[in-house]
Structure 1
Amino acid sequence: MAYAVTDRPDTAGGPAPGSALAALRARAPFGWPPVAWALRHAGWTGPVAVALFAGLLRFWDLGHPNAFVFDETYYPKDAWSLLQQGYEGVWPENANGQILGVPQQIPLTSAPEFIAHPPLGKWVISLGEWVFGLHPLGWRVMVALLGTVTVLMLCRIGRRLFSSTLLGCLAGLLMAVDGLQFVMSRVGLLDGVLMFFVLGAFGSLLVDRDQARARLAAAADPGAVRLGPRPWRLTAGLLLGAACSVKWNGAQVLAVFGLLTVVWDWGGRRRYGARRPLRSMLRRDALPAFGSLVGVAALVYLLSWTGWFASSGGYDRRWAEGRAGLSPPRTPVLDLPLPQLPMSWVPESLRSWWHYQAQMYDFNTGLSTPHTYQSNPWSWLVQGRPVSMYWQQVPAGQQGCHSSGGCASQILALGTPLLWWTACAALVYLLWRWALRRDWRSGAVLAGVAATYLPWFQYQHRTIFSFYMVVLVPFLCLAVAQLLGAVLGPPGCSARRRQYGALAAGAVVLSIMACFLFFYPLYTAEVIPMTDWQARMWFTSWI
């Protein structure tokens, strides 16, 4: 698909001749050396500028509120426990008050605690606690950093995907002002960390695709050539393994992205003239892809448990002792009883670890405890039931409340409504582009949507929340950027068509940014009058 603004050359530096950036450079005001330099290196200066804007938003007053926000009551304390003893320990019921109290007390015990998620995300959070201590700033800073870097990555990924710096930066800008990604970048939860690894893997596979096709184009026989080392696909395997080591949702992404990369290999061999492209892909690409992604991911997942293996007190750490070398009685994959097979050749630590995985699987698939803010995946794209992560009603005259009717302070994990509703239309457009025009870019974005969104529909009776969709946000922003690229107009269209397209696309972007600004107080726990809070409750399901 061709876009109105194509300024990313594949092999040369600087904007392509005839592009929008080249036109800007030709004008006199842009001849000033610093501006000319910035335009010449717009492939990096543009994304960095967008990321700095996103970082300013995310780091501003990051330590507020001085409280445990939603599931921060779990993960930051688990992270501190990992930092101190290599495994998650038990905390007393009044631990939150002691941690936030003055003077601070940290009542961590050495007794092991059952934890439902792998440890890597908590290890990431612990890096901030190692620097700043067990305080709100400490357990939020690494998530904010990754949320900011994710915006930079999305700009560069969009640039590569659409061959347009403008559209890449537009995708990053849209994510910078998405309320859900903004909120999840400012709280010490795992989903923002998961998003970082998933998007990094997607970008790595895009680079691998470009490099593989360059080799196929240069090959004398595209059906027989072996593509050799593929470091970017190995990088994707590492990142997908890291995603699985944060939350098991990463396994679904691993499956979809693994299928995506071999389909790209199949298409590449067919495009460059292989006589039997499918057979050639199966013989020369499928097995290396499996090893690079699944094999590497499994190794990373196992290594993420190093702290548990190195300790002696972790949960279930000694489960296999005294069990006569027998295997665990069931498997978390099939949920079927297994015979007691002799397993004396398997180390006790591995058998204990496998049993722990089985218990985690039982918990994650069987959780059905009702929650006020649980919701069905059918409502997620339209933001039908956002999660209130923090709420405090402030009486008049306290904490800066000057309204006689009292005030409210809330953190609502609500995606910027206009962005998400526009994304619904964009997904329909991408489905049309992929199904009827065979647009591989649309297919790539839709694969990301399928990997991060569709698997949740199998959990109709499980307690799940809409903020899980922060992993989906980058792909929604890419979809909207692609739609707005089409609105701008195809190459060769008339000046009037281009003008109308720019006005329409600009109006959409400005409306989304204004919508984010309107809801900003609900993203940052700002104290606002109750009347202002009520004005932002557009639907009763948001309350």
Structure 2
Amino acid sequence: MTVTAERRAAASTHQLAVGPGPLVPPADFGPTDTKRGWVVTAFITLIAAITRFTMLNYPTDGGTPVFDEKHYVPQAWQVLTGGWTPDNPGYGLVVHPPVAKQLIAIGEAMFGYDAWGWRFSSAVAGTVTVLLVVRIVRRLSRSTMIGAIAGLLLIVDGLSFVSARLGMLDIFLALFGVAAFGCLIVDRDRMRERMATVQAEGRIGVSALGPRLGVRWWRFGGGVLVGLACGTKWSGLYFLLFFAVLSIGFDIANRRAYGVARPWLGTAIRDLPSTIYSLVLIPLCVYLASYWPWFASETGVYRHVVGVKVGTGGHFSFVPDALRSLWYYSGTVLKFHEGLTNSAGNHHPWESKPWTWPMGLRPMLYYFADGDHIKGCGAASCVKAVMLIGTPAIYWLAFPVLIWGLWRAIVGRDWRYTAALTGYFAALLPWFADLDRQMYYFYAVAMAPFFMMVLALTLGDIIGRARNGLERRNTGLLVAALYLAIVIANFIWLWPVLTALPISPTMWSNELWLPSWR
């Protein structure tokens, strides 16, 4: 018998004992079908890779990037050729941290300055995100099948699909946000397992604060990853804040579940310092480290601004000049973003507000071409387009699914829904704080994986478990299978406008289901 099996057996035995103390939770610290889980994960990931990499170099704008690729792709190339930092002050839109551009540059280093080069890293990020979602939902639900359903939903989500096939930033933000979330979920299970060991050994009551839980490498990894999210876009900071609260909640629940006399104080003294270290200090260090080429450069934007545009004295003169220069640089970026408001006259025909994102009511047109010179659709004139559309069969169920998730989280106290919704709302709610700002549907890319988690958990509830009765489970499986068939069919229908395949103007009109899609 393995050490883990012994711990589970000991905890289960303890749970059955009758006594004045509280019972401990079941010894459930993660899925046990390891081999089957990895086989299913590999299969789903392979499908994701095929869809993300097929025709990855198509379309282009006459061999050049499309839409906002025009900002980030040349910046990534200049990162590659200029010392891993944009060092040309002429780049007026160097307004995001460098991590995603550095990753795009890796693809350009491998394949050159062409569509394969500037989209390769995005496709890898989109594929790995699917893998992570399968593993995370499998752990949340303790079901490899539900994990596979979550991965399949993300594969056929048009929002995630298109974002993984363009050299832009948000797919990397989604990747790091999901990866950090996954680390915290594993950390929760590991800490419960450690607490069960202490409980089985009869040491819970040694201190009213509960035991120290040792080094928490998974939470440390979560801090590194959320730091990379912040190094991709500043909106990664929202993941940091929400995930820190989630992690503290896990710690309080863990100590309460195992009968610690003072769980809140125990969390504050035993766990909070580790939380601050892992989810505040480490992300800050990772964020600063992402600027290492800029720190090492002589020609980076605003690298030596102290003594030129910033005085050398003042209350913060003790701060190293390099950090003061970065602070000034960041201030100019913040000023740029603050100016992107509707009230300042900034309007875009495809902008949207966050209340439209859950249902994908206002997609974005990334690429469009029509005319007699386009052939292949069987008509005299053809249309080619890439539109960022969330698959309607998924997103038009957003509100009932979210309401169910909130019900399960608040009334049913189901930690799985609480966790997944934390990630979802971290990517959505902060945008409501400044509705005057220009916003776009591609900001919702970071929400998509977490919505697939909530939707998969909901389908898991519909399917039910074997103990609910064979007939009940078979009916649930049939409902879930039919729904997935509809989602896949919807994705196939949208495929031409997600990949710029030539279609007739009539077909193009048929693809635009809502007036807000035009």
Q: TM-score, normalised by structure 1?
A: 0.85
Match of 1:354 among 327, 335, 342: 327
1:492 counterpart SS class: helix
User: Following the alignment from structure 1 to structure 2, what is the Cα–Cα distance between the partners of residues 252 and 324?
Assistant: 29
CA RMSD of aligned residues (A): 1.8
Report the equivalent of 1:431: 406
Report the equivalent of 2:43: 49
Residues 119 and 165 in structure 2, CA contact (< 8 A), matched pair in contact too: yes
Q: CA deviation at 1:127?
A: 0.2
User: Following the alignment from structure 1 to structure 2, what is the Cα–Cα distance between the partners of residues 128 and 76?
Assistant: 10
- Count of equivalent residues: 475
Q: CA deviation at 1:325?
A: 4.9
- 1:92-107 alignment to 2 at 5 Å? none
Q: CA deviation at 1:495?
A: 2.5
2:513 counterpart SS class: coil
Q: Which segment drifts farther, 490-499 or 178-187?
A: 490-499
Letter in 2 for 1:346: V
User: Following the alignment from structure 2 to structure 1, what is the Cα–Cα distance between the partners of residues 102 and 52?
Assistant: 21
2:411 counterpart SS class: helix
User: Following the alignment from structure 2 to structure 1, what is the Cα–Cα distance between the partners of residues 374 and 184?
Assistant: 53
1:375 counterpart SS class: coil
Report the equivalent of 1:201: 180
1:447 counterpart SS class: helix
Letter in 2 for 1:392: A
- Map Cα deviations across residues 313-342 of structure 1 (whole Å, 9 max, x no partner): 111112112568546xxxxxxxxxxxxx24
Report the equivalent of 1:309: 295
Match of 2:379 among 403, 420, 427: 403
Letter in 2 for 1:538: W
Report the equivalent of 1:380: 357
Report the equivalent of 2:59: 65
- Alpha-carbon spacing, 1:475–1:112, altered in 2? closer, same or farther (3 Å): closer
Letter in 1 for 2:262: R
Match of 1:221 among 201, 204, 215: 204
- Alpha-carbon spacing, 1:40–1:113, altered in 2? closer, same or farther (3 Å): closer
Match of 1:522 among 497, 500, 504: 497
User: Following the alignment from structure 1 to structure 2, what is the Cα–Cα distance between the partners of residues 324 and 536?
Assistant: 54
Percent identity over the alignment is 38
1:437 counterpart SS class: coil
Match of 1:185 among 137, 152, 164: 164
- Map Cα deviations across residues 49-76 of structure 1 (whole Å, 9 max, x no partner): 0010010011011000133221000101
Report the equivalent of 1:36: none
- Alpha-carbon spacing, 1:284–1:40, altered in 2? closer, same or farther (3 Å): closer
Residues 118 and 245 in structure 1, CA contact (< 8 A), matched pair in contact too: yes
Q: CA deviation at 1:84?
A: 1.3
- Map Cα deviations across residues 251-293 of structure 1 (whole Å, 9 max, x no partner): 0110000010011001100100100100110011112101111
- 1:90-489 alignment to 2 at 5 Å? 90=88, 113=92, 115-219=94-198, 220-221=203-204, 223-322=209-308, 325-326=311-312, 341-368=314-341, 369-395=346-372, 398-404=374-380, 406-489=381-464
- Map Cα deviations across residues 151-193 of structure 1 (whole Å, 9 max, x no partner): 1111111110100000001100100110000000000000001
User: Following the alignment from structure 1 to structure 2, what is the Cα–Cα distance between the partners of residues 163 and 10?
Assistant: 20
1:415 counterpart SS class: coil
User: Following the alignment from structure 1 to structure 2, what is the Cα–Cα distance between the partners of residues 40 and 470?
Assistant: 30
Gaps in structure 2 of 5+ consecutive residues: 6-32
Gaps in structure 1 of 5+ consecutive residues: 1-8, 13-38, 91-109, 328-340
2:281 counterpart SS class: helix
- Alpha-carbon spacing, 1:70–1:112, altered in 2? closer, same or farther (3 Å): closer
Letter in 1 for 2:57: G
Residues 325 and 343 in structure 1, CA contact (< 8 A), matched pair in contact too: no
Report the equivalent of 1:79: 76
Q: Which segment drifts farther, 308-317 or 169-178?
A: 308-317
Letter in 2 for 1:126: A
Letter in 1 for 2:120: V
User: Following the alignment from structure 1 to structure 2, what is the Cα–Cα distance between the partners of residues 494 and 398?
Assistant: 57
Residues 71 and 93 in structure 2, CA contact (< 8 A), matched pair in contact too: no
User: Following the alignment from structure 1 to structure 2, what is the Cα–Cα distance between the partners of residues 485 and 268?
Assistant: 24
Residues 85 and 311 in structure 1, CA contact (< 8 A), matched pair in contact too: no
Residues 367 and 462 in structure 1, CA contact (< 8 A), matched pair in contact too: yes
1:73 counterpart SS class: helix
1:453 counterpart SS class: helix
User: Following the alignment from structure 1 to structure 2, what is the Cα–Cα distance between the partners of residues 324 and 450?
Assistant: 38
- Map Cα deviations across residues 388-412 of structure 1 (whole Å, 9 max, x no partner): 01111132x63324313x2111110
User: Following the alignment from structure 2 to structure 1, what is the Cα–Cα distance between the partners of residues 37 and 145?
Assistant: 9
Residues 88 and 113 in structure 1, CA contact (< 8 A), matched pair in contact too: no
Q: Which segment drifts farther, 484-493 or 205-214?
A: 484-493
User: Is 1:503 matched with 2:482?
Assistant: no
Q: CA deviation at 1:43?
A: 0.6
2:330 counterpart SS class: helix
Q: Which segment drifts farther, 243-252 or 378-387?
A: 378-387
Letter in 1 for 2:300: G
Q: CA deviation at 1:496?
A: 2.2
Q: Which segment drifts farther, 133-142 or 311-320?
A: 311-320
Q: CA deviation at 1:40?
A: 7.6
